[in-house]
Amino acid sequence: MADSTAVATAKRMCSVPERTKLHLAMLALQFGYAGFHVVSRAALNMGISKLVFPVYRNIIALLLLLPFAYFLEKKDRPAITLSFLVQFFLLALIGITANQGFYLLGLDNTSPTFASAIQNSVPALTFLMAVALRIEQVRLNRKDGLAKVLGTLSCVAGATVITLYKGPTIFGPAPVPHNSTLLLSLGDAKGKNWTLGCIYLIGHCLSWSGWLVLQAPLLKKYPARLSVTSYTCFFGVLQFLAIALVLERSIDAWIIRSGGELFSVFYAGFVASGIAFAVQIWCIDRGGPVFVAVYQPVQTLVVAIMASIALGEQFYLGGIIGAVFIIVGLYLVLWGKSEEKKLASAAPTVVVPSIVENRTAIHTKSSLAQPLLSSSAENV
């Protein structure tokens, strides 16, 4: 009985449309990243080194991903070449070293809330990069192209509203004093250079957008997704190790002193790197870089909801208005991409009616012409 129930559950999971799986995966990813903002700031406040932290983070991610990549992708993994190694190295330089390095430097000089808010520029940056590299097509004279542009702008506008406009209180749970104090301490950036922190975070957003965009063409040549992520993590570890060995010469900096630091490192390694990278590259492969990036503003909404429910913070009208913009924006982008796929898949079938209509004429042709016509029909 138990076996039949398990089989039925597995069948139901397999029958879930891929589009639904993509949406669920991206929503889960935003929850994971939302927690990472607070965890990372907590680690920095505890005194962990900004160079040691990403080294441990990516080592844990590599140890998590490597067995799955090795055993699950034996048949799908192409032979490694020097060209692939160079691409993996550059992908790690942009997506691991620059991305994580700029993020930690920016977070150390600002706050988790601001870091989450400024990441809402990622959809627009990714969209522009994808269009420039011709990975994403935009035809402004068609409704699908206009929908993608307007949807991206709507997502960014929604997250901006959540960040900058409060308005009257819509929902106000009982305050939790100790948690509120903790949240304030996590966001405290006194004595730091806020302007420099903003510059670092802009560099982080540019690196992240470039990373999302550059993975798409590489996956066409190297379809083993987990292997790509594992190679990227491996080179990221080497790059951070080289930087840390030069700049972080104190042995004490490599010692984990508390359970809080240990939790921060493991959360970053397992959730924000290992699991997140695997989910993200699968979504890029199936939905494209713009699909992944357009979900980024949802993270700001998730942070607002989590802070309201778990930390006792009030939920304002600005959050409701921003949520509406984000939902409308997501719908427009996804509808635009769906329409684009429909138009692309419909294009080759335009010639089919003419073949059917002329079938009678084909039979009247000489036998010499029949092989050519049949081969043309097969190619269509």
At 87, is the pLDDT very low, low, confident or very high (cuts 50, 70, 90)? very high
Residue 365, pLDDT score: 41
Of 255 and 158, the one with more pLDDT:
255
Residue 89, pLDDT score: 97
At 231, is the pLDDT very low, low, confident or very high (cuts 50, 70, 90)? very high
Residue 359, pLDDT score: 43
Q: Measure Cα distances from 46 to 35, 54, 255 in Å.
A: 17, 15, 12
Of 361 and 148, the one with more pLDDT:
148
Half-sphere exposure of 252 (CA within 13 A, CB side): 1
- Element at 286 (helix H, strand E): helix 276-287
Residue 316 DSSP symbol: E
- Element at 171 (helix H, strand E): strand 169-171
> In this model, does residue 8 exceed pLDDT 70?
no
At 171, is the pLDDT very low, low, confident or very high (cuts 50, 70, 90)? low
Q: What is the dihedral of CA 280, 282, 283, 286, to 10 degrees?
A: 160
**CA separation for the pair 42, 112 (Å, rounded):** 10
pTM of the model: 0.72
Of 172 and 269, the one with more pLDDT:
269
Of 211 and 379, the one with more pLDDT:
211
**CA separation for the pair 279, 293 (Å, rounded):** 13
Of 18 and 61, the one with more pLDDT:
61
**Two tokens at 329?**
């924006």
Of 379 and 100, the one with more pLDDT:
100
> In this model, does residue 285 exceed pLDDT 80?
yes
Mean pLDDT (the chain, rounded): 78
Query: Could you tell me which of 88, 13, 22 has the C-alpha nearest to residue 284?
Result: 22
At 265, is the pLDDT very low, low, confident or very high (cuts 50, 70, 90)? very high
Of 380 and 73, the one with more pLDDT:
73
With b meaning 16 or more CB within 10 Å and e meaning fewer, what string describes 200-218? bbebbbbbbbbbbbbbbeb
> In this model, does residue 212 exceed pLDDT 50?
yes
Query: Could you tell me which of 89, 102, 318 has the C-alpha nearest to residue 214?
Result: 89
At 11, is the pLDDT very low, low, confident or very high (cuts 50, 70, 90)? low
- Provide the CA 294 distance to its chain's centre, in angstroms: 9
> In this model, does residue 67 exceed pLDDT 90?
yes
Which ranges in 79-193 belong to alpha helices (H)? Answer: 82-92, 99-109, 112-118, 122-132, 143-164, 177-186
At 361, is the pLDDT very low, low, confident or very high (cuts 50, 70, 90)? very low
At 172, is the pLDDT very low, low, confident or very high (cuts 50, 70, 90)? low
